[in-house]
Homo-oligomer: A and B are copies of this chain.
Amino acid sequence: MFEPVGQSPAYRRVCEVIRGRILSRDLPEGAVLPTETELARQFEVNRSTVREALRQLQSNGLVGRRRGGKRLVVTRPTKEAVAGGFSQALALHEARVMDVCEALLAVEPGIAAAAARQRGDATVQRLRAAAQRFTGAGGDSAEAVGAVAEFFDALAAGSGNPVFVLLNEPLMGLLQPGLADIIDRVPQARRRIGMAQQQILQAVAAADADAAAAWMSRHVQDFRRGYEVAGLPLAAAVGHGPG
């Protein structure tokens, strides 16, 4: 009948105030926060309380420390930080490998198409490097998986769309363990991946969005099929990847 009249604890209010300042660009990226003692003085709370608030902001990636630095500075969340939270949530929501495949199938062709529409030379360069790294990765499956992820990352970055970059990252994190299995167990996987990368690369270089999307679609479906061929269960829950 009545909603509980709640008051948030001080550490949460302090956190929200600072968060608001950052999101409103009032505290721009790179700005150094006042010292903990000074914050405690300004907010009129104890330093311990300030520290609890800062820890929350830190795990959101909104503040961080410069390498070897002591003072906290405002940072924007790296795609890794966002992806970490995402994968974590996904792992606890018992997402299955097939779910990730389905999502990849929906998202990645769009990313490839967007990258093709942009056709930045730097992107083509980076894609080529990633493809080369993949073919050169001999028997080192970890290296090969890294190269595949790098290829996808390059596409997302090349789309010039930060939304794609952030969407792509967690999916890559979830893809990698399974991909390693496939590359290890399915002999023809290497060849097929390499071919798909070449085709996508050419499509992007030619600014052919439709072709890029189509090949990416095949690329992802290949992954799914490879998983089945390898005798791995598509309904298995994804583990919490690196992050």
Contact = CB atoms under 8 A, between A and B. Distances in A.
Interface in A167-217: 167, 171
Interface string A73-114: 000110101100110111111110001101101110111011
Interface of A is mostly: helix
Given A51-B52, A55-B11, A102 B90 contact: no
A240 interface: yes
Nearest to A82: B89
Contacts of A81: 89
Given A23-B91, A81-B89, A103-B161, 6 more contacts: A59-B59, A77-B92, A79-B89, A95-B163, A100-B163, A102-B110
16 contacts: A19-B88, A48-B51, A52-B55, A56-B56, A56-B58, A62-B92, A77-B85, A82-B89, A90-B166, A99-B162, A102-B110, A103-B167, A106-B106, A106-B107, A106-B109, A106-B111
